[in-house]
Structure 1
């Protein structure tokens, strides 16, 4: 009888641990959550970012440049999800690795890098024509920001 109780307790513990370690992003609570890099409140729905580790730990950022700066000290292979806000659809998060980035002095971002992301190259080209600037992929953006 005792062994069946222990088995039940162990099974319940394993189930709870599995449920509590979901590897999925949590919504950013704008105006409440703070940037994990610069500790500013996250208020801008067009420039926020986040990543989730493979263990399910959440890291949220007020600007894409804060995310990139934070990742410069980490191994991306340890991350399950990297998301950035879609400038063209405020509040929507998109995959950072497939997004196209625009650095334009005419679009201000919270930390001053003037960096925005959009879900497609076509949308980025439209923004480039409207605001001017330079386009980047995830890899070229990381290199550009690490050169400073």
Structure 2
């Protein structure tokens, strides 16, 4: 009976470890964009999707992530992540982010799109560089 209990505990532990939905660090200069296949080098504009099963898709820009969604079942997504413009390499929840499209802030795929953890930071850069602010839902509609 004790052996069965230990076996069940082990199986459940492996199940939950295998379904971990957390971001993976992007290996800049080595990882490729899942959408456009370019090598991810820009530490300010990269993005990532983590599915509910823990599979990770990496992108060189948020616009690639959005275009990838056109042929992807979004009900499978656990996390949408974008790099925070003010903290390079830091992934933030795209659902809560504020996005700026400004011709004065280039991004890898030419959408001039940057993500910000909070609206205050986005508004500060907008006041310096110009452009338009979007939330996640507005951005997806704008880029379709």
TM-score calculated relative to the size of structure 1 = 0.88
After TM superposition, list the pairs within 5 Å mapping 1:1-148 onto structure 2.
12-146=10-144
* Cα shift readout 1:8-48 (whole Å, capped 9, x = no counterpart): 66764554343222111111111111111011111111000
- State the Cα RMSD in Å: 1.9
Divergent runs of 4+, >3 A: 3-15
> Of Structure 1 and Structure 2, which has the larger fraction of its residues in strand?
2
CA distance in 1, matches of 2:102, 2:50: 28
Does the Cα contact within 8 Å between 2:19 and 2:52 map onto a contact in 1? no
Contact 2:101 2:133 in 1 (8 A): yes
Offset at residue 76 of structure 1 (A): 2.6
Quote the Cα distance in structure 2 between the aligned partners of 1:27 and 1:55. 17
Q: Can you give the 5+ residue segments of structure 2 that lack an aligned partner in the other structure?
A: none
TM-score w.r.t. the length of structure 2 is 0.90
Task: Tell me how far 1:5 sits from its aligned partner.
Answer: 7.5
- Which 10-residue stretch deviates more, 40-49 or 10-19? 10-19
- Please list every run of 5 or more consecutive structure 1 residues that lacks an aligned counterpart in the other structure: none
